[in-house]
Amino acid sequence: MRKIMFAAPASGTGKTAVTCGMLTILARKGFSPCAFKCGPDYIDPMFHRSVLDMESHNLDLFLASPDRVREMFHRYSKGYGISVCEGVMGFYDGVGGTTTEAGAWHLADTLDLPVILVVRPKGASLTIAAQIRGLQDFRQNSHICGVLLNDCSTMLFQTLGPMIEKECGIPVVGYLPHMEEAMFESRHLGLYTAGEIKDLRSRLDAIADQIDQTVDLDRLLTIAECDDEAFRGDVMESARQKEDFVPVRIAVARDDAFCFLYEETLDTLRDAGAELVFFSPLTEGALPEDIGGLYIPGGYPELYAEQLSANRSMLKSVRTAVLNGLPTIAECGGFLYLHDELGDADGRLWPMGGVIHGTATRQNRLVRFGYSEINGGNSMLFRQGESYRVHEFHYWDSDANGQAIHAVKPVSGRSWDEAYATDTLYAGFPHLYLAGKPELAARFVEAARKGGVL
């Protein structure tokens, strides 16, 4: 088994482009790669998926326990030749910006991943070696096993490569020159999604072609070799393999407006006995038939507000179902969709689902950004006295956020009330990571099973 992480000293060094280029060349050469993303990011796994034509999975040590993360890594690595994980932010940056919890190093340490540090060498030379040495020495085992220089000329690589190897005692596996193809544009929630970049395949092929010329893949694959006992024999099997279920159909919104879905969360719902039925609030006229539950995830409804609002029959179908007690999860973008009105990026207001009596509009900054821990009273998903870890990432806010749960930020302790939680509904900005708390998935499926069929 081979496994590797691509991480960096800071954001903006090209981790996603390097990771996707590596996945492309590894697949092209028959090494059968699979992909993972450190942290809660939805968009980078879309890029991984566009390369491999299969799902990428998130591994988050704030939203899930170490044992659960190990289980998911082993489950989704099984049968593949190399597991490639993309890091997050700066290598040691974790919860609150002042801890290593849930950062790239924490994941590498938990899974014993060899790390290739992606470094942009602009504006420094010997100091780069000092920075790398600092990263190596910051924790007892940094797991840093190599360096790849990104946005680096051939001449500079010939100077820096031997110097870094001498000063840091680790190999420099190669470099990538400046490439316009590797520059992915961003907007308010990060990179544009993979599906929005029309020439993405040709751009990734160009990066892979360059990697083939200027990166020592044999050296990199040697670093990735591991003798991991956990990969021998059977790994985690789903509950559905161990127990017979009568599946309950749960409708899941999935289209350009609602695209923020964790594949491992969908699998957790399936493990709990759900049959997932995907539908598009943008293009279809009504909810699927014979469903016991509804899941509307996050995404970009604000970018499609006019089209969503024009689909009156779907809005009526959703409103009627939710108000009649169909067990429903609506998080972040799904929460926006249930409002009376949703403002688009230009400030125009559009009628929406009419379940949440309020208006959601764009703010000039990220709102309640990051991880938090929530608790609330008894409801479809939550139980009095229990706490759950979630994350938020949105520029839109509501004048009707609800007060059903109490959220507390780690480190700072800042707190607030938000969301709606009843016997049949969870609706709020916090993204739930059901894969990290399988009991929440089980409660949702059980509510769908008991709630009758629409």
H-helix or E-strand spanning residue 223:
helix 217-224
Nearest to 299 by CA among 250, 342, 341, 268: 342
Roughly what angle, to the nearest 10 degrees, separates helices 43-52 and 15-28?
Answer: 20
Q: Which two tokens stand for residue 118?
A: 């992606």
- How far is Cα 422 from Cα 450, in angstroms, rounded to an integer? 15
- How far is Cα 388 from Cα 129, in angstroms, rounded to an integer? 41
Concatenated DSSP letters for 23-48? HHHHHHTT--EEEEEESS-SHHHHHH
369 C-beta neighbours (distance < 10 Å), count: 13
According to DSSP, the residues that pair with 126 across neighbouring strands are: none
Q: Which two tokens stand for residue 412?
A: 């700072």
Which residue is listed with tokens 């995907």? 278
Buried b (16+ CB within 10 A) or exposed e, 1-18: bbbbbbbbbeeebbbbbb
Catalytic status, residue 332: yes
Helix, strand or coil, per DSSP, at residue 159: helix
Diameter over CA atoms, the chain? 69
- How far is Cα 369 from Cα 396, in angstroms, rounded to an integer? 11
Which residue is listed with tokens 């991991």? 228
Which entry of 20, 38, 152, 332 is annotated as an active-site residue?
332
Write out the catalytic residue numbers. 332
